[in-house]
Structure 1
Amino acid sequence: MPPKIPNVALFPLLATLALPVQALDLTWSGFGTVGFAISDQSYNYQRFIDNGGTFKRDTILGGQLDARLSQQWSVTVQAKLAPSDHDDTDWQASLAWAFLSWRPSDDWLIRAGKIRLPLMLNTENNDVGATFDFARLPQEVYSISPLTDLVGLGVSKTWFGEGVDWIAEAYAGKVETSWRYYGREMTPDQSAPGSWFLTYNIKSAGLVLTARSLDNTFRIGAHRVEASRDGAKIGTPIVNVGGIYRFGVGGEDKVIIPLFTAGASILLPAKVRLSGEYAWIKLDSSSEGLNRWGAYLSLSKRMGAWTPYVYYAKAKSRDSALAKYQAINGNVVPSPYVASQKFLADIIVPYDQSTVALGTTYRLTPTSLLKAEWSVATTGVASSLVDAPSGGDSSDKSINVFSLSYNFTF
């Protein structure tokens, strides 16, 4: 399927093409990751990782064109090739960025078009593996937001200081995005295990404050997300009728989703770097497990070409969502209803897992590095990062994942 690109996102590209070549100052760059991951389990983890090994979880290739139109105006277009965000078998070419920038002065920046959001510390560069040390960013935190980019407007103001710069960023816009679900016994379209994707219309606005010095970064953000679906309600309740759970009546045309983010990266004595991030989201829908928090804490130290690191991450849905999942999942019903009960339990989308990771990067050149990581993910009540096996569930699992990747920019 060809990539679907909002018309307004093409404005920066069309503006560039409309100018004579001699009026442009063009800069090309590229990035990529070739990553292999394998686990010790037969079922999928994070969509693709199992004991057969996969290149699909982390591999990505991208290119960026920056066109300086004048001292104040520029255009940025970034395209990438990566696994599809709406199909587990396809690859997808898409425009990640496509925006027009206006910098009226050194301390103001205004961008219009398709922009990446300033959510977590590495959201804006999460496709460029060469810019961070982890084999992959902790999904307990980085999977929480329902979107990472939108088509709209972003404004930032910087206050330059002697030791610390303060940056305030505000944004607003909209985008279509897909959300993945997995049914271990059935999906809405078939009586067999599998994944399916629902398309949501998202409007979002947010305010982010960042303090940055030479060695340290602190960030806090508050975001408001509005989600709707064409021709469908959101938040239809799952109710118990005569001992059997089923969809009830009701729901809303749209739901408002508050999202809070915070993060810090601090250089400690002996040049040890301490990094941590936290995210919290509230979503009133059938998928009650999406109401959750996630956090991680990491330590790393650069020693010549090597940067070893360790981190601990955790994600947890609110207790009422986990209790509802357990009630539906453990409901004893006649055999014709078993698959439907497991399906409704999966719709809850519960999260209760932690990860410990130990890894290292080795910098081959200033623009390329190797990464190796061993991580152990442990689930509690359940985790929707796991495609639970048919006849079982995702509770009380321990998943060893080994990752190796080559990351580069040019």
Structure 2
Amino acid sequence: MLVEVLRGRAVVGSQVWDDAVVAWESEHLTYVGPPRPGDPDIRQAGYILPGLIDLHCHGGGGESFPDATMRDEVAAAAMYHRQNGTTVLSAATSTMEFGRMEFVLGLLAQACEEDLIEGIEIEGPFLSRERCGSQNANYLLAPDPACAELLLDAAGGYAWAMAVAPELEGAADLVECLARRGVLPAWAHTNADSTIARRMNDLACTLLADHGKAPLDYPVVDHLFNAMREMNHRAPGPVMEYMAAARLNRATVEIIADGVHVSNELVRDVVEILGPDSIALVTDAMAAAGMPDGTYELGGLLVHVTNGVARLRGGNLAGGTRFLMDIVRNVVAYGVDLATAVEMATRTPARVLGRTDVGELREGMRADVLLVSPELEVERVYRRGRIVA
């Protein structure tokens, strides 16, 4: 039986331990604690972290989940993120022709069965035309439970969330459908005002609790601030409602903290207001993640990447180009302590997915472990106890 033992500074729970030992046999952690007699004397120079968990990813390494036509393209994107520290990845779709979305969801379901990815968020087509961002407006639909059922069926039971603009007619019926299927509504691409945002979030909490089938009793908010009505002191829009809900454990908010989608200072402020339990750091990565500048595809639309920033021809941001460890490093650079940053990329997203086997360094957990340098650069990745090549 393969036994691995690492010693050094480690993020354990909400703390950084200065001298910890992390050990595992096969796929599970067997010891996390202070050094024992016989443990290695040599300490790692950097940090030992739990494997990262990305809830919202459209691709990477030159491959796009929504645009994939074969299993190997999905595998290539997933493995690129895995090699860079993300050991649990949820793939996100994009708004496309309906039959095309069903096909892609079938591919992603196959990838889940093969342990390439570990969940699916269905993003599109029930989104706001005014706030569609990089979603293809030609294929947007009004919320329709029957159509949602078809997409959920195509995902083979692996979809944990579906994006919804709450202000659209029919959104309440769609939320009822999702709650009945055990799928979280993810508020996204919305032009809702504050009244609608609060009313629909309250409704979703009630329905999720009543049905009791989803991993949480409250919704997720996709990429807070982005592709939603802006805050204004006389017309606040949905952002403050979602932050208030998160503060009361009635929502989890995603943030793309790459320094492009949201200002670093604002990210720091939101973390200080809400704390890590209510925030999941995400990449929203597309095919250009980890790749040079150039032209890529996202949901059938051409995306131009210049200086690492992805935009459609009209100027809209079109996903991220960073890995989740890059985002953790960026957040730390702007004053968030390491344990808090890691929690937002591990324990919080694990809770959203309803996972109790990943997300922290604790005995009995799956042996997903990162070794990073003192500068928080990925040096080695273990997943299920095995090194990721």
More strand by share: 1
Q: Greater helix share, 1 or 2?
A: 2
Q: Which structure's CA Rg is the greater one?
A: 1
